[in-house]
Amino acid sequence: MCLGIPGQVVELVADNDQLAIADVSGANRTVNIGLLDPGVLEPGDWVLIHMGFALEKVDAHRAGEALSGLEMLGRGSTDPQTE
């Protein structure tokens, strides 16, 4: 199992069809989209990103679930809500 971080495509890089800019938790990141079928992405789409590569296009609901899961993983035993 790999851990994918959801990101929303902001733009496709005009001079390189292998790259896109994605908003990942409020920060724009350059993402390699070469593993996805050509023409499948457009601005506003969600992808799961691992090690800088977009692995899969997902819908907004699945992206939200992935983000929720990551937030739960980030809560350790020092989380004030669990003490």
Q: pLDDT tens for residues 12-31?
A: 999 999 999 999 999 999 99
Kindly state the percentage of the chain with pLDDT values over 70: 87
In a domain, 81, yes or no: no
Residue 3: pLDDT band with limits 50, 70, 90: confident
In a domain, 25, yes or no: yes
- pTM, two decimals, is 0.82
- Please give the pLDDT value at position 75: 64
In a domain, 68, yes or no: yes
In a domain, 80, yes or no: no
- The Cα 57–Cα 78 span in angstroms is 34
Q: What is the CATH number of the domain that holds 69?
A: 2.30.30.140
In a domain, 12, yes or no: yes
Per-residue model confidence as pLDDT tens digits over 54-78: 999 999 999 999 888 888 887 654 5
- Please give the pLDDT value at position 83: 42
Per-residue DSSP letter, 36: S
Domain that holds residue 19: 5-75
Number of domains the chain is built from: 1
In a domain, 14, yes or no: yes
